[in-house]
Structure 1
Amino acid sequence: MTVSTNVLTMEDDPVVRETIAAYLTDEGYNVIQAESGLQGLSLIQDRSIDVVLLDWRLPDISGGEVLSKLAGVNPTLPIIVVSGTDEVREVIDALKRGAWDYLRKPLKNMDILVDAIRRGLARAQRLKETALEGEHLKELVRSRTEELERANALLRREAKERQEYAAALKESEARFRQLVETVREAFFVRNALTKEFTYVSPAATEMFGLTPDQLALNSELLFELLHPDDREEAWKRASQIGCSSVPASFEYRFVVGAEKKIKWIGFRIFPVCDANGTIYRQVGVAEDITERKYAHDALCASLREKDILFKEVHHRVKNNLQLVSSLLSLQAQRISNLEDRERFLDSQRRIQSMTLVHEELYRTDDLSCIDFSYYVEQLARRIEQAFSATVPVELTVDLERIHLSVDTAVPCGLILNELISNVYKHAFVGRESGRLYLYAGLRDGAIVLKVVDDGIGFPAYFDVRESNSLGMQVVHALVEQLSAKLVITSDRGTEFELAFSDSSLCLLPNCAG
């Protein structure tokens, strides 16, 4: 945090706004106040803003509209929602629109706000640095690749001329020398039988610290410069290249000069055949790729750090949700009214369904999506355990291996939580046992979820949109959020079938590592 850090508060309550401004000013921040969303958007256009504190309910436009506008224009601007509501739909909506954090008013401990601002500023800085590094790396790779492709095109043309015009070999070699001696890459021609260099371009002197004449007299000097850890593999590859009729490319470390500087050198070698198809020469190019290699390693390290950070975020979110779940459980134990206690337990199970998503994300290597089949089975088993004291239910699961994004998995989990819980609570009233069947898979270009029981069923006129049950209202809202289709069939039990577009699927790469 520096003295020039500007924090914009969008808050229509003057008491809350002045309280936050006073506290942050004492912490060294420059606070700019806005009492409405439009005023805040105008200030952002005129001023340099580093962090935005956004009330979700503003008098003119909603916090969601403000958030969408800001996130679309500047995705690296930290936006922290400070709201008096903690409804799940609004929290999810805020995070989907681009909120970096969501704090609940009243802020009893202002240090939480300061900590959220600091984390937002740190994350914004990392994002900007990563973007700059990525752009620099892409530009460098593009530039060097274009140069190498141009040189390779010329080499291929030269090789073809050698095959087709054997009588003009000397003239072709003269043109080749004129070309390669003007570029930074080191070009070479090697006798395929004796392994001796017949030509090495002057660029080899700067690259390896050896003159073309030195390499021509003793080709083994190049192997002596190899890093000790790369020598064995280089010798094996050299023996393979000698008899190979296909181009080869590889990278090795070389220890160069009196200062023992380590360089990464990339090679591309092309065989040249005579009229009988016998390889008699090898033409190649060597390029110093040290900077590109280090830049790539730095980018990979940055990406690994980001993955670790995201995993830690999901781990903390999971822990916080588990804490909330435990608090609801403790509160439920203190309530004597069974109906009120069940409301608390319903809320606890909803939170546990979201906790499972973050737990799965922390467990997996791919932070963009989760193994939904594994998630559904874990969710069903936990609900089964929670209702183990009621009617015994035979649970059967039929789950295809599909992966869903987090934005889809969370509402699907909440829907399944409500439907499965309702089965245990209502489907087998007056029965000694029951059966429950769960299905998740792909069908006709759609993802299909089924919850089927052999219980007492719903009335024929039942409509989930008209239900007064909070659980059914949650189901209806989330079905609309997914743009899904929900079909309810009540015949010898009840079947809920939910279908939505397979565009929510995560396409995982088919590779190892």
Structure 2
Amino acid sequence: MNQWIILHSSEGRILAMNLPESQWEGKTIGDLFNGTEAILGQSGTAALRCKPEFVSMTSSEPDVVAKWKRIRDQYWLELTTSSDSGAYPENFPKDLFSNDLPFRQVFETNQAIKWILDPETGGIVYANEAASLFYGYSREELMSMKITDINILSQEVVYEAVHSAAIESRHYSLFKHRLKNGEIREMEIYTGPIRLNGKILVFSILYDVTDRVEAVKKLEESEKKYRSIVENASDAIVITDRGARLLEVNRRFEELLDYSKEELLSFKLEDVLDTNSWRETSEIMPNLIVGRPVTLQRKLKSKSGTLIDCEINAVLLDSDKAMGIVRDVTERNRITEELEKSLAEKEVMLQEIHHRVKNNLQVIASLLGLQYENYEDPTIRSALLESESRVKSMALVHSESYRSDNFTEVDLKNYFYSLSFNLIRTYEASQRIMLDLEILPSKVTVEKAIPLGLILNELLTNSVKYGFPGERKGKIRIRLESDERGYLLKYEDDGLSYDRDFLERSGSIGLQLIDILTRQLRAKSDFKTGEGIKFTLRIPE
């Protein structure tokens, strides 16, 4: 008779066949035969109609007789059509399979490691070529050995497993086997009893799963390490499902809310959030579901009902789970609130200081103005007017700071504009002297703004007094730029030219004041005369 043997899974997927693997790989018995659905998963005999693909593969007749044998969750399918003799492989104990040719054929043709054991002695009755290649022993050597020569466990444990397989109480084992070269491999073994020539033996299919076992071991170690990190983290950690049910919590989360782990795992997230916090949290859930990490502050309820201020960093773990890292920020919020309160008080106090300083300077400027009115001597009047403008320039700094959100800084653009136009008006020169300002918006400290303002005040005063005397008209250009080295102040006018000697002879302290303030700012200045004056001041950052 022509005979074929197929080893297939309970779902019908072909695992082995006594034909070249390229012909049956990836196929199911449903691909080769009609009517298999009704008998799939059963044992017994049935007539099958071959599909054209099987007929083409085997040159078989369309109708075959099929005999099923179940071994755990796998099935031997024997197919019979017409006669065929077939020879036994070399060194095969011919009397063993004399009445079961199909079984012998699949035993030899499939590449899986297989052997047959005697449950009474533990001896290896027969091993296929794949077993010989894997273990490194010849077939003759294997068939002279006992399973205990290969399995590294005790004889009692090994024999118990073999006997259990013989009576069908055990079909799967995971053992360590020693190869001929001494290497130890993890072997996954599927076993079942077979009757050959009236004798019950144990048939085994073996798979080397060493790599898989090592991978699982590493995965378990990684998971153990991860669990240890999570469990002992200083922050509370909670894992929820898509329905916001608590799936896992660490020890710190239990301590934070004063619940046991068992209690917490019966809760939903809304059970540990106050009403407002839960409503706000549910509104941002869509962001979390699409994979956006979320940071939020919420109030959690402890077992006693106490509300705890918490910062929660939530992230999606996978499509069904999210993790939240929860930190108690009650103390941080308290300190922040106290600092904000203290800062507000200091801002009020600083605002009051600037206001008072500004008022005091304005009083001084007013006194100088009164003195100015009481003198007829032009030299004295000039000195008083210059002093008044200097005091006003300092008062203006505090006025700008007073109106600013930041009391420690001054906006130079507003300050320079106000200072320049106020001084021109003080000298009643706004109709004949045009101001052209390009000031970069920038903020500097009060300590830096005051000397800069005084320098600009002196430059403007000198231009009005000496560059544009009488009714002379002209233009003053002021530029403030910045680069990586700091600020650059450029000042020039198109009035009469005068040099340093002239200023010193005039008795003005303006030039001396500019030099002193330049050193105070650690700046560098350059004073040029010609058609008017040109002054530059490089101020470091």
TM-score band, normalised by shorter chain = 0.5 to 0.7
Tell me what 1:438 maps to.
478
Note if contact 1:391-1:428 (Cα within 8 Å) is conserved in structure 2.
no
Residues 423-502 of structure 1 mapped to structure 2, 5 A cutoff: 423-442=463-482, 445-459=485-499, 462=501, 468-501=507-540
The residue number in structure 2 matching 1:124 is none
The reply to whether residue 359 of structure 1 matches residue 399 of structure 2 is yes
Is contact 1:204–1:211 with CA below 8 Å preserved after alignment?
A: no
Report deviation, 1:339.
2.3
Counterpart of 1:216?
Answer: 265
Q: Which residue among 252, 255, 279 is the counterpart of 2:298?
A: 252
TM-aligned CA distance change 1:497 to 1:254, over 3 Å: same
User: 2:284 corresponds to which residue?
Assistant: 237
Q: Among 294, 297, 310, which residue is 1:265 paired with? A: 310
Structure number with greater CO (CA < 8 Å, separation at least 6) is: 1
CA distance in 1, matches of 2:375, 2:387: 14
Equivalent positions of 1:29-428 (< 5 A) are 180-182=230-232, 185-191=235-241, 193-219=242-268, 222-244=269-291, 246-258=292-304, 260-273=305-318, 279-388=319-428, 392-428=432-468
Equivalent residue letter for 2:236: A
Deviation (angstroms), 1:457: 1.1
Return the letter of the residue paired with 1:223.
E
Cα deviation, 1:39-71, whole Å, max 9, x if unaligned, reads: xxxxxxxxxxxxxxxxxxxxxxxxxxxxxxxxx
Would you say how many aligned residue pairs link Structure 1 and Structure 2?
328
Residue 467 of structure 1 contacts residue 473 of structure 1 at CA under 8 Å; is this kept in 2? Answer: no
Q: Distance in 1 between matches of 2:501 and 2:376?
A: 31
Which residue identity lines up with residue 288 of structure 2 in the other structure?
A: I
CA shift at 1:239, angstroms? 3.4
Output the TM-score relative to the length of structure 1: 0.57
Amino acid at match of 2:249: V
Question: More displaced, 264-273 or 350-359?
Answer: 264-273
Q: CA deviation at 1:475?
A: 1.6
Is the 8 Å Cα contact of residues 253 and 264 (structure 1) preserved in structure 2? yes
Residue 268 (structure 1) shift: 2.8
CA-to-aligned-CA distance 1:120-163 (integer Å, 9 cap, x gap): xxxxxxxxxxxxxxxxxxxxxxxxxxxxxxxxxxxxxxxxxxxx
Q: Aligned equivalents of 2:216 and 2:394: distance in 1?
A: 72
- Amino acid of the residue matched to residue 320 of structure 1? N
SS class of match (2:536)? strand
- Please provide the CA RMSD for this pair: 3.0
- What 5-or-longer segments of structure 2 have no aligned partner? 1-213
Q: Partners of 2:502 and 2:523 in 1: how far apart?
A: 16
433-442 or 201-210: bigger deviation: 201-210
The one-letter code matched in structure 1 to 2:248 is Y
Distance verdict in 2 for CA 1:214–1:170, change over 3 Å: farther
User: Does the aligned pair in 2 maintain the 1:209–1:256 contact within 8 Å?
Assistant: yes
Equivalent residue number for residue 160 of structure 2: none
SS of corresponding position for 2:407: coil
Supply the distance in 1 between the matched residues of 2:410 and 2:424 (Cα, whole angstroms).
22
Higher normalized helix content (fraction of residues): 1
- Secondary structure at 1:263's aligned position in 2? strand
Q: Percent identity at matched positions?
A: 28
Give the partner amino acid of 2:326. Answer: A
- Whether the aligned pair in 1 keeps the contact of 2:487 and 2:538 (CA below 8 Å) is yes
Alpha-carbon separation, structure 2, partners of 1:315 and 1:299: 24
**Which deviates more from structure 2 when the two are superposed, residues 200-209 or residues 487-496?**
200-209
Whether the aligned pair in 2 keeps the contact of 1:465 and 1:476 (CA below 8 Å) is: no
Q: Distance in 2 between matches of 1:229 and 1:464?
A: 73
Q: How far did 1:346 drift?
A: 1.2
Contact 1:448–1:500 at 8 Å: present in 2 too?
yes
The offset of 1:406, in angstroms, is: 2.1
Contact 2:365 2:388 in 1 (8 A): yes
Tell me the alpha carbon deviations over residues 362-402 of structure 1, each in whole angstroms, 9 at most, x when there is no partner. 12222332111221111001001111268621111121222
Deviations 1:267-319 (A, max 9, x none): 2334334xxxxx34333332322112212222232233223322222221111
* TM-score (norm. length: structure 2): 0.55
Cα separation, 1, equivalents of 2:502 and 2:372: 30
Contact 2:491 2:536 in 1 (8 A): yes
Which secondary structure state, in structure 2, belongs to the residue aligned with residue 456 of structure 1? Answer: coil
How has the CA–CA distance of structure 1 residues 301 and 316 changed in structure 2, closer, same or farther, with 3 Å as cutoff? Answer: same
Unaligned segments of structure 1, at least 5 residues: 1-163, 274-278, 504-513
* Distance of 2:253 and 2:523 partners within structure 1: 64
Q: Which amino acid aligns with 1:305?
A: E
* CA shift in 2, pair 1:202/1:493, >3 Å: closer
Aligned partner letter, 1:249: T
Quote the Cα distance in structure 2 between the aligned partners of 1:173 and 1:446.
Answer: 55
Question: Could you say if the C-alpha distance between residues 269 and 168 of structure 1 is closer, same or farther in structure 2, counting changes exceeding 3 Å?
Answer: farther
Letter in 1 for 2:264: L
Q: 1:227 to 1:347 in 2, by over 3 A?
A: farther
The residue identity in structure 2 corresponding to 1:427 is G
